Amino acid sequence: MTDRPVAIVTGGSRGIGRAVALRLADDGYDIAFCYRSAGEAAASTAEKIRAAGAACYSAACDVADLEAVQGFVAGAKAALGDPELLVNSAGILRDAPVAVMDAADWSAVIDTNLTGTFNLCRSTVFDFIKNRRGCVVNISSVMGIHGNAGQGNYSAAKAGINGLSKAMAKEVARYGIRVNAVAPGFIETDMTRGLSEKVRDSALAKVPLRRLGSAEDVADLVSFLASDRASYITGQIVQVDGGVVI
């Protein structure tokens, strides 16, 4: 263990979660991150975190499984010490119109994106309260603010994260703990790179700044909200979307 503060990041092997983990390592945090399945991406993230001078604990974890989450958090605490920052970034897509959406696809997205966020909060925030310090940043989406056709499950899960974040902020503010959510728009990640050129062009046309965001754009905002510079900000849903929702 070191004297550095500890951050837990879910979905840390790829995309936004990876960018957040690397930025927080640069900010002076030791990093515990989880991922859905082991692979080169997770190993590469851990290597880059250590190269930044941070200690790292990583493990596969299904965030939809509360028992698995509790085991991951316990492992992180044993390896690095008590966390004081939680960033919930794990998420999946299973897109389809609601009228023909498979019930299993609805449940998978709600269980991973929304219940997974609850599971991590449930497993860490009590210690934040006991220690009288801590910060939570949940990765939401602009789809949770205005919805998106063909993404009823994803939009519902992200709207749920927004409501959860606001409720928690009211519950824990008295203990000096802040809770905020970041709502990205169209971000260049593995998810968006898999879209057809037609879909990408359509998405880009909706962005006033006329570019897709980067995972680092989101990580910069998370870094700010986790810092003392944001010490009077809680219960907010902060958009990083190039002006999609104005």
Domain boundaries, the chain: 6-240
pLDDT at 197: 81
Query: Is residue 192 within 8 Å of 186, Cβ to Cβ?
Result: yes
Name the E strands within the chain.
6-9, 30-35, 56-60, 85-88, 135-139, 178-184, 187-188, 213-214, 237-240
pLDDT at 193: 73
Query: Is residue 62 within 8 Å of 119, Cβ to Cβ?
Result: no
Check 35, 154, 175, 232 and give the catalytic one: 154
C-alpha–C-alpha distance, residues 2 and 207, integer Å:
43
Q: Give the closest residue to 123 by CA, choosing from 79, 175, 64.
A: 64
pLDDT at 191: 66
CA distances (Å), origin 66, targets 73, 90, 109, 213:
10, 14, 16, 32
Q: Under 8 Å CB-to-CB from 188, ≥6 apart: which residues? A: 212, 213, 214, 215
Question: Is 232 labeled as catalytic in the residue annotation?
Answer: no
Tokens 């070191």 -> residue: 2
One-letter identity of residue 110: I
pLDDT tens for each residue of the chain, 246 residues long: 789 999 999 999 999 999 999 999 999 999 999 999 868 999 999 999 999 999 999 999 999 999 999 999 999 999 999 999 999 999 999 999 999 999 999 999 999 999 999 999 999 999 999 999 999 999 999 999 999 999 999 999 999 999 999 999 999 999 999 999 999 999 998 767 766 788 788 888 989 999 999 999 999 999 999 999 999 999 999 999 999 988
- Domain 6-240 fold is Rossmann fold (3.40.50)
One-letter identity of residue 211: R
